[in-house]
């Protein structure tokens, strides 16, 4: 009888966990959109986070580590239950105490950031090390950050690089970017532009906009590779399309000068505008110039003054000069 009860309990646990996973999958599919027109998707299965939470709770209460992790994430994100960082940490800790590396990383992150608990870098380091020893790329990356910033440990670029490299070797794109930047700047390791280029490319190929921008810089300036403006423009564009203001500005510069792309002032203005709308001062300055001279946009001294003033407010002296020139030549009144 005892063995039969244990077996039945195990089956119930697996059923609850599987049901929770099914609900989560169907909710994800509904958000993603592929089945928006299908009336019978998830028929017979509740398609909401609150129901998924209840089902995960049943499994978590029986000690299932995956369910504990799911409950922790739902509390942390406020999915299916009211957001509660303290409860989230409680369930991360339960999973972490069972040796789950992902949960250990999140316990470390909670202590590092002070989420659901008083900030404690020593505790953060302890939990990150537990997870890092199991090969958690997230924990290895965060240990790199802790050594870069001197959080709970003496600031040490070489030790930071060692941890970034471990995470990068596991394929973490942010860590790959940091390894590339370390080689690029010579922080924590001997400067090597070729190695920087290699690691930037690894992260860029995974879609990391910062790495894509840095690759553009490398090709633009011939660092670790033969200078190639067309290749630089390609990487700037890839990062710009993801919203990188720096890349949008640099791509605008290339269209304005005709380097790596066919010269096109209208296209230059379009990219300057995208970066300017994000508050990028250099783009605001250049957009002011474009309006002042009527390059790629209708000449408009009011807009030239506006964009130049915004850039000048960030301390750009060139922008301040064009702003003052507009006023001095009576192109518009200072209060207009």
* Between 46 and 136, the higher pLDDT residue: 136
- Please give the model's pTM, rounded to 2 decimal places: 0.81
The pLDDT, as a whole number, for residue 90 is: 97
Residue with tokens 């090969």: 135
User: pLDDT per residue over 78-88, tens digit each?
Assistant: 999 999 999 99
The pLDDT, as a whole number, for residue 27 is: 36
**Cα gap 177→171, rounded to integer Å:** 11
User: pLDDT per residue over 91-106, tens digit each?
Assistant: 999 999 999 999 999 9
SS3 content of the chain, % helix, strand, coil (to 5): 70, 0, 30
All domains in the chain, ordered by first residue = 1-36+43-98 (1.25.40.10), 243-336 (1.25.40.10)
Total length of the chain: 336
Q: What is the phi/psi pair of residue 39, to 5°? A: -70, -25
Tokens of 15: 């059923």
């Amino acid at each position: 009888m005892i063995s039969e009860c244990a077996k039945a309990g195990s089956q119930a646990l697996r059923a609850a966990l599987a049901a929770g996973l099914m609900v989560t999958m169907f909710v994800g599919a509904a958000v993603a959109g592929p089945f928006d027109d299908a009336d019978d998707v998830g028929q017979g299965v509740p398609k909401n986070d609150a129901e998924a939470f209840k089902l995960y709770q049943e499994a978590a209460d029986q000690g299932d580590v995956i369910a504990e992790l799911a409950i922790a994430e739902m509390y942390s994100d406020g999915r299916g239950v009211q957001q509660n960082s303290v409860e989230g940490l409680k369930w991360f800790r339960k999973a972490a105490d069972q040796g789950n590396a992902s949960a250990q990383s999140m316990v470390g992150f909670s202590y590092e950031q002070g989420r659901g608990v008083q900030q404690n870098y020593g505790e953060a380091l302890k939990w990150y090390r537990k997870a890092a020893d199991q090969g958690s790329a997230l924990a290895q990356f965060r240990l790199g950050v802790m050594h870069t910033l001197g959080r709970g440990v003496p600031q040490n670029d070489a030790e930071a690089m060692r941890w970034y490299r471990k995470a990068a070797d596991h394929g973490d794109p942010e860590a790959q970017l940091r390894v590339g930047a370390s080689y690029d700047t010579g922080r924590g390791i001997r400067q090597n532009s070729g190695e920087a280029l290699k690691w930037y490319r690894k992260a860029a190929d995974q879609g990391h906009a910062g790495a894509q921008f840095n690759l553009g810089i490398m090709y633009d300036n011939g660092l670790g590779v033969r200078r190639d403006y067309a290749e630089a423009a390609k990487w700037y564009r890839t990062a710009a399309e993801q919203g990188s203001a720096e890349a949008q500005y640099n791509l605008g510069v290339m269209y304005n000068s005709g380097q790596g792309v066919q010269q096109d002032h209208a296209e230059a203005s379009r990219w300057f505008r995208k970066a300017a709308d994000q508050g990028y001062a250099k783009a605001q300055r250049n957009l002011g110039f474009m309006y002042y001279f009527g390059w790629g946009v209708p000449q408009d001294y009011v807009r030239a003054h506006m964009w130049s003033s915004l850039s000048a407010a960030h301390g750009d002296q060139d922008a301040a000069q064009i702003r003052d020139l507009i006023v001095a030549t009576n192109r518009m009144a200072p209060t207009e």
